[in-house]
Structure 1
Amino acid sequence: EYKSLTKGFSYLFTSLFDKVEKLAKHKKIKFHYHPDTRLRSIIEHKNVIHYTTATRKNPDKKEDERTTHAAFLAMPRSAIELVAQATRYDDKSGNDVLNHEKVQLYLESVLIEPSYKIGMFFHEEWWKESGGAKYPAKLTSYFLTDHSADSLEGKGFTKNQIKELKADKNIIETSYDNEADFIDAVQSCLSTSLSYDQKNTISAAAELDTIGPSATDMPIRQVVYFGDNALKKSKKPVYGILASYDDIYYTTFWKSLELGTKGTRKIPESRDTQPLEGPRKATDVMVKMLRKQLAVLHYGPQADYTLVPEPLETRYMDWSLPPFNAGYHAYKSHYNMGDVQQMIRKPSQLVKGVDANIFIVGETYSNDQAWVEGAFCTSESVLNDFFGIKPIISEKHYPFICPK
């Protein structure tokens, strides 16, 4: 089962930020936030972390210099390498942890994987059989959760029946590809035949008709279907799809269509910080190419692009651009993944005779690369192992990082 945040995924982080602000105020901790500022260089000297910052306007030039007792680099490999580059040419004496040969070796243990995503919105679900698609997206399945089981109360199901359903592992959070198999499983669990109304009620509660995905060898690669995204459900529906979920090989295909047929590039890619600015509007030629490939996917090889209606809106995001230069990461061969995860969290562990409170957290060197869970888990492990903070949950069945 997939769930989404009605205000967008970024709301998770704005909510966390608000929590931190409130807790800091409650505990009388000084909390300073410096937007449009980046870490430029960092060294350790006599148990103090010395670092410089730069502004978004002048990202290469030193703007300020400060000290701290501990620094957490919540950033991916490419961003860390930029910090290491500036530190390499800093004249200040101290331990340049990031540029130590073994630390560099461990930093290079992951592949930087570009990622490109394109979202489209329509008033109709044309990709379904009911919408006229010759090869409709395979979306419908039946998946009953505790929440959807609770919704059955007062709708022809008793409390005891709901309790039985929730206790049956063959029912709760088990996916069924068709309604008949799902109903058979429910009837077997309850040891009774369901009435016509009961069948309709529980099927409606369990039916899923979003996500997919559809996969292809065309540059769109994967298509994911998100259902009605209209902010006001009383108005006309707005169906959203991730029209292209692409990485590595085909990201450059879409990049060549970003400027249209007559546009010229005006910003060097090394200064194009789209990931910080948000999705951009797709050009007409990009939209037409998307419609053509989607038409082939759902209507057949010779399908005309006009079979896919003109979208209400199309936006793209190129995660291969600065400051992250990657959508996600993957471990290279010939590295001990567990050792990397354990040691890179506090890179001075790799430098003999040095103990610097510089920490690296994020999905890049985690056990859940490409997932937000990876960032949370590495952060939690640092707090647990280096600051003595009690783990938020038991690691018995869900270890935060790999053992050595």
Structure 2
Amino acid sequence: MGQTYSIFGAGPGGLYTAWRLLSSGKLQSSDTLNLYEWGTYDFTGEGKERQPAGRICTHHYIDDDSATYIEIGGMRFIEWDGTNTPTAKGHRLVTKTVNDVGLGPDVVNFLTVDDPLYFLRGQHFYQSDLVDNGGDVIAPYNTPGVNEASPDDLYSHISDLITGTTPLKDRTEQCAFYASGTLPSTFNSFVYNPGDVASNVGYWNVFYDQAGNEGFSYAADGGGYSSNVINWNAANAAVYNGEFAPGGAFKTINGGYSRLFVELYNKACEAAANSGARFSLHQGERLHSIWMYGDAIKFKLATADDPFSPSSGDAMDTDLAFLAMPPNAVDIVAQATRFENVPGRTDFLNNAQVANYLGSVIEQPSYKIAMFFEEPWWENTTYPPRLEATLNHQKTTENVFGPTITDLPLRQVYYFGDNALPNEEGEAIYGLLASYDDMRYITFWRGLELAVDERRDQAINRDFQPLEGGREGSPQMEQMLRLELAKLHYGDPDAANEIPMPKSTIFMDWGLNPFGAGYHAWAANYDITDVMQKIRSPAQLAGVADAKVFLIGSAFSNDQAWVEGAFCTAESVLVDYLQMDPLIDLSVYPPICGTRCG
């Protein structure tokens, strides 16, 4: 008799798991795989629903998948060159998957500028203008010496203070530091001592301790990401923050990152047809509640039309369950499960140890606003972005996106330009990611979502916009964006009328349910290597031996905020618990810390 596999969530982790199960030969003709998704993704290219999947969402102008687009979710990955050594750089599972599904020829650069424009505390300057780079500008922060260099230098300095001067060259060394690394003997502090466990230190705390309030503010403002300087796990933060320096070698998919997840779904369907396994996608249905009854997995569903009420009928059964969802969505399921009156069950999601480990990550809301124009007006302003990067020791202007960084609510601006596919007909449209904000100004932009003559007709916690895709901004949102862009690029708010009216303005609020965040960070005072290992099997963590309920996704990974993190947690489950052959050599690339793979 065949087995039933149930995957809850058709985001990156869920689609990857479905594709791997079906294409690896693990599932046979007697097996069934059900993939449930609360939202409705456009896997067919009809343009009627939002693009897949999860926190990846390519938005095309007028919903034409050949037209100019902007990424209003995750944008990019770091390509792996195939070198099979522990120190090779890049996202190995994403790179391998992109090639395996046939998108390798469509990989293009997503370059960041060599010389970003900053507008901080009312002062414009390019990175090359700073004293350390041969210029005469000092950033407007009271941090003598530090303010003569870019904020990235400050991040690197704080990382060195935390980790010591010996670089953590590969994932194994990094994981060891996360588990038991200590502040080095050279660490000088009134608050902390050499030998203190680094993972028990808050990053904001230690940053303030070492750089003061002005140094912290320079890093928070000039780094572009407020989320990078919150009070997260200092051991993890010290390693992670180096990835965001300008000049990073990023890649994306021509036509939009969402194409990867369309292809994952298509390849899963093809593999199911070849194997004879029954594969069904159930969109508009979500996991309502789940528990163990003895060694049996029991669950109830709910519909998108009535997401908080379980569907009628008895609880359903499955042999294996994969919760491919972020912590906020898991918490929604846990809340409902708590009130299911089933004597003798094991409510594993509400187990004290499971709840503690689910709380080991910090939710980081993010907000993106895309604007589409008839012309690239930013090229002819007082302070234009210098869209030039170095690639293979040569300067290029092709596929260079930004960012420009400011302490205005815009925070970061990326210039997508006219990236329509060659077969697109009609007028050229130029895309501008006018605001990429995380955490700091979320409520500022939320206050501009509705027009001044509108009343809110639903509670914020019942607004599931991330499942639906981008929404048109209000006239007031457009005016506020033009006002801030005028300050940023003209240095004059009165120049707002120099910025043309956009053809369309689209916003995405990732802080809303069910996602609750754009990305996540590890909290301090946890051994995150132990969490990564044990939270993958929450029912086993709650004491149900051999329970086949698994939690996957980027939140509890080595690569938070990246698709690679979702793929890695899924791969670790498939290899460690289902004994599948790994997609790549995991002996030199542990997908998560402490993995048994390899």
1:76 aligns with 2:326: yes
Preserved CA contact (<8 Å) 1:142 1:208? no
1:18 aligns with 2:266: yes
Equivalence for 2:335? 85
Which amino acid in structure 1 is aligned with residue 358 of structure 2?
Answer: L
Deviation at 1:219, TM superposition (A): 0.3
Percent identity, aligned pairs only?
45
1:46 aligns with 2:294: yes
Deviation at 1:54, TM superposition (A): 0.8
1:297 aligns with 2:481: no
Which amino acid in structure 1 is aligned with residue 542 of structure 2?
Answer: V
2:586 to 349, 374, 395: 395
Which amino acid in structure 2 is aligned with residue 27 of structure 1?
Answer: S
Equivalence for 1:95? 346
Secondary structure, counterpart of 1:288 in structure 2: helix
Secondary structure, counterpart of 1:71 in structure 2: strand
Equivalence for 1:238? 429
Deviation at 1:348, TM superposition (A): 2.9
Which amino acid in structure 1 is aligned with residue 407 of structure 2?
Answer: D
Which amino acid in structure 1 is aligned with residue 404 of structure 2?
Answer: S
**1:304-327, Cα deviation, whole Å (9 max, x unpaired):** 211211112110011111111111
Unaligned runs of 5+ in 1: 144-171, 180-205
1:314 to 505, 521, 531: 505
Equivalence for 1:153? none
Deviation at 1:7, TM superposition (A): 4.2
Equivalence for 2:307? 59
Equivalence for 1:282? 473
* Alignment of structure 1 residues 3-402 onto 2, 5 Å: 3-63=251-311, 64=313, 65-92=315-342, 93-128=344-379, 132-143=380-391, 172=392, 174=393, 179=395, 206-208=396-398, 210-231=400-421, 232=423, 235-352=426-543, 354-402=545-593
Deviation at 1:137, TM superposition (A): 0.7
Deviation at 1:48, TM superposition (A): 1.6
Deviation at 1:399, TM superposition (A): 2.5
- CA–CA distance in structure 2, aligned partners of residues 91 and 39 of structure 1: 17
**1:289-347, Cα deviation, whole Å (9 max, x unpaired):** 10111111111144421121111211001111111111111111111111111111111
Secondary structure, counterpart of 1:20 in structure 2: helix
Preserved CA contact (<8 Å) 1:42 1:50? yes
Preserved CA contact (<8 Å) 1:45 1:94? yes
Preserved CA contact (<8 Å) 1:40 1:53? yes
Equivalence for 2:235? none
Unaligned runs of 5+ in 2: 1-108, 111-250
- CA–CA distance in structure 1, aligned partners of residues 270 and 424 of structure 2: 33
* Alignment: residue pair count: 343
- CA–CA distance in structure 1, aligned partners of residues 433 and 588 of structure 2: 33
Equivalence for 1:198? none
Deviation at 1:215, TM superposition (A): 0.5
- CA–CA distance in structure 1, aligned partners of residues 447 and 387 of structure 2: 32
Deviation at 1:20, TM superposition (A): 1.3
Preserved CA contact (<8 Å) 2:484 2:493? no
Equivalence for 1:165? none
Relative to structure 1, is the Cα distance of residues 133 and 47 closer, same or farther in structure 2, using a 3 angstrom cutoff? same
**1:16-63, Cα deviation, whole Å (9 max, x unpaired):** 112112211211111222211110111112322111111111112111
Deviation at 1:263, TM superposition (A): 1.0
Deviation at 1:99, TM superposition (A): 0.9
Relative to structure 1, is the Cα distance of residues 11 and 229 closer, same or farther in structure 2, using a 3 angstrom cutoff? same
Highest RCO, 1 vs 2 (Cα 8 Å, sep ≥ 6)? 2
